[in-house]
Chain A
Amino acid sequence: MTDTDIYGVIPEGLWSQPAIDASAIAELDGVEPIQRVRLPASITYDYIPGLAPTRFLRGLAQKKILGERSAVLGDVYVPPRGMSPAEGLPTTEQVELPHKGSVASFCVVHIGFGTNAPPTPFCSALVLLDGASVSVYGPIQGIEHDKVRIGMRVEPVWVDDDQLAPSFESIKWWRPIDEPDVPAESLKGHM
């Protein structure tokens, strides 16, 4: 099915702006409606990632994936936000995670939304890193999209070493590795 076919099956009006009907207001009947006003506004923020996200982002610049473990339940959060949401307590231990994981879910995107969407079709996935309690999001490449499956083993593909930065973009995408799929039971709670 091509992209054009997919647009054809979306009901008219669902993904587009309906025509404005002002006929019930006598003063506006027959008057060309104002359909849009442009009121540009922007505010610049100096974003503060926080302690735990800073540790994680700096790790990426060194090709490390740093999760954080919760004190009581032992869950490993990646990327960390500094808290164990189940406990309401700070995470207490940094954990360097292996560069291997399993696909917990995936989606083949045929219609990209927004100006930053990659060329379609592309495959995005949730990857549960070995030893982690939550999945990370990222694109999958290096395999035909109809071959991607839940439980598939993957590894990150990093940017060149001189391009490494404190950014999730230091991981370009994830690609399959030659290991047997993990059974769905091992992803329980993550799919």
Chain B
Amino acid sequence: MADFQKAPRDVAIVSVTQDPHSRAVVERNEVELIQPIIQRALEQIGVQKGEIDFTCSGSSDYLAGQAFSFVMTLDAVGAWPPIAESHVEMDGAWALYEAWVKIQSGHADTALVYSYGKSSPGDLPLVLSRQLDPYYYQPLWPDAIAMAGLQARQMLDAGLITERRMAEIAYESREAARNNPNAQLQGSPSVDELLAADFVSDPLRRHDCAPISDGGVAVVLAAGDRARNWVDRPAWITGLDHRIDSHNFGARSLTSAPSAKLAAEKAGVGNDKIDVAELHAPFTHQHQLLVEALGLGDNVSINPSGGALAANPMMAAGLLRLGEVANRIMAGEVDRGVATATSGHLLQQNLVAVLEGA
């Protein structure tokens, strides 16, 4: 791809941690949820917090129902002596992007990235409506599943997908998640059984929707020899890009994901063979949109973790995709993989990362 530009510094994911995701973590608050995950991310590679040059997190006040909720969660990182720190009100994949830029610019060699979301305190489909245009759409309270139904309907009507294929995607994702101890949904009824179920928002059935999850993830990044010293086989980030489509979902076609396609080109997805892909698709039909946008062939293992359809902690599910690919590379199972993260509504914003072994 002519558009692909190699970044100046070699930066890798060297540690990934998460806990099992669940519908509701009712006993612990956000900082009590994420602190053990952060602590293990450092401990499992023998890193002291003082060796981390930059810390960046992703979370959402709308999920927590509290202003500046991320500041309280900073208690989990031990910000004393003072640390260099930042936060994005986005999925942690974008926090990773900021940390990656910080390292590329030479202002850091190492970074801790974490993100978390407890969707259980609020009514998630309604909370998500708050990210829409405040004058035209927010007063109408379109819930997130009903909006996704608009997109699925366009795809079905255009013959781009079938309800059976959507059910197959749900089935394959949750069956794959049997091998993922952190997944919230492990295993699935048969495709025929899924198709016999009632609609939630026609044409979407319950199986077409990601579960509502509480959970978090932490990742450690390191450049060059720092990465090589910490782990035997770092997961090098060889391509990273993110793009945005119109916020006005009435002004764009919903049957493709141009931002994902462009980000994939810029990240160099097609430059070499892809072994594994982890796609952040909260709805079954969006899984297919991402497969097409990235141009993934039949020989690619897609969402072996089960993806967001098996566990979807808001603000973490995207960074988890990068983490799942990184873990497979660090374990030596695969050589080259791609991960996507999405933000906004109906795949509006997409980040694409290419990760490679040695």
Question: Size class of A's contact patch?
Answer: 20 to 34
Complex Cα–Cα for A39 and B38 (A) = 40
Given known pairs A37-B135, A50-B28, A88-B78, the reply for A43 and B123 (CB within 8 Å) is: yes
Contact partners of B74 in chain A: CB under 8 A: 85
Contact partners of A53 in chain B: CB under 8 A: 29
Judge whether B72 is part of the interface by a CB distance below 8 angstroms.
yes
Question: Closest CB-CB distance, A136 to chain B, in whole Å?
Answer: 16
Q: A85 and B80: CB pair below 8 A?
A: yes
Complex Cα–Cα for A81 and B223 (A) = 34
Contact with A85, one of B65, B78, B118, B121 (Cβ below 8 angstroms):
B78
Complex Cα–Cα for A46 and B135 (A) = 27
- A16-54 vs B, CB cutoff 8 Å, 1 = contact: the mask equals 000000000000000000000101010111111111111
Q: A50 and B29: CB pair below 8 A?
A: yes
Contact with A52, one of B32, B79, B135 (Cβ below 8 angstroms):
B32
Judge whether A130 is part of the interface by a CB distance below 8 angstroms.
no
Contact partners of A50 in chain B: CB under 8 A: 27-32
On chain B, the number of residues with a Cβ less than 8 Å from chain A's Cβ atoms is: 34
Question: Closest CB-CB distance, A138 to chain B, in whole Å?
Answer: 20
Contact partners of B76 in chain A: CB under 8 A: 83, 88
CB within 8 Å of A: which of B290-341? Answer: none
Q: A48 and B31: CB pair below 8 A?
A: no
Complex Cα–Cα for A157 and B39 (A) = 40
Question: In the complex, which of the residues A45, A81, A89 has the most CB atoms of chain B within 10 Å of its own CB atom?
Answer: A45
Q: A41 and B65: CB pair below 8 A?
A: no
Complex Cα–Cα for A54 and B32 (A) = 12
Q: B29 and A45: CB pair below 8 A?
A: no
Given known pairs A85-B79, A86-B78, A88-B35, the reply for A39 and B134 (CB within 8 Å) is: yes
Considering only CB atoms, which chain A residue lies closest to B49 in the complex?
A: A88
Q: B122 and A45: CB pair below 8 A?
A: yes
Contact partners of A47 in chain B: CB under 8 A: 65, 121
Complex Cα–Cα for A115 and B122 (A) = 24
Complex Cα–Cα for A86 and B78 (A) = 5
CB within 8 Å of A: which of B60-94? Answer: 62, 65, 72, 74-80
Given known pairs A43-B126, A43-B130, A49-B29, the reply for A85 and B75 (CB within 8 Å) is: yes
Complex Cα–Cα for A43 and B125 (A) = 11
Contact partners of B29 in chain A: CB under 8 A: 48-51, 53, 81-82
CB within 8 Å of B: which of A75-117? Answer: 81-90
Question: Closest CB-CB distance, B72 to chain A, in whole Å?
Answer: 6
Given known pairs A39-B139, A51-B32, A82-B31, the reply for A89 and B134 (CB within 8 Å) is: no
Considering only CB atoms, which chain A residue lies closest to B27 in the complex?
A: A51
Complex Cα–Cα for A87 and B83 (A) = 12
Contact partners of A48 in chain B: CB under 8 A: 25-29, 118, 120-121
Given known pairs A81-B72, A85-B75, the reply for A43 and B31 (CB within 8 Å) is: no
Judge whether B138 is part of the interface by a CB distance below 8 angstroms.
yes
Judge whether B127 is part of the interface by a CB distance below 8 angstroms.
yes
Considering only CB atoms, which chain B residue lies closest to A49 in the complex?
A: B29
Complex Cα–Cα for A88 and B36 (A) = 10
Contact with B138, one of A41, A52, A84, A90 (Cβ below 8 angstroms):
A41
Complex Cα–Cα for A87 and B49 (A) = 9
Considering only CB atoms, which chain A residue lies closest to B38 in the complex?
A: A88
Q: A83 and B31: CB pair below 8 A?
A: yes
Question: Closest CB-CB distance, A166 to chain B, in whole Å?
Answer: 15
Complex Cα–Cα for A54 and B27 (A) = 9
Question: In the complex, which of the residues A48, A83, A90 has the most CB atoms of chain B within 10 Å of its own CB atom?
Answer: A48
Given known pairs A39-B134, A39-B138, the reply for A90 and B122 (CB within 8 Å) is: no
Question: In the complex, which of the residues B30, B32, B65, B130 has the most CB atoms of chain A within 10 Å of its own CB atom?
Answer: B32
Residues of B within 8 A of A (CB): 25-32, 35, 38-39, 49, 62, 65, 72, 74-80, 118, 120-123, 126-127, 130, 134-135, 138-139
27 contacting pairs across A/B (C-beta < 8 A): A39-B134, A41-B130, A41-B139, A43-B65, A43-B122, A45-B121, A46-B121, A47-B121, A48-B25, A48-B27, A48-B118, A48-B121, A49-B29, A50-B29, A50-B30, A51-B28, A82-B35, A83-B32, A84-B78, A85-B78, A86-B79, A87-B78, A88-B39, A88-B49, A89-B78, A90-B32, A90-B35
With A41-B130, A85-B80 already in contact, 13 other A-B pairs whose C-beta atoms are closer than 8 Å: A43-B127, A50-B29, A50-B32, A51-B29, A51-B32, A81-B29, A81-B72, A83-B31, A83-B75, A85-B79, A86-B78, A88-B76, A89-B39
Residues of A within 8 A of B (CB): 37, 39, 41, 43-54, 81-90
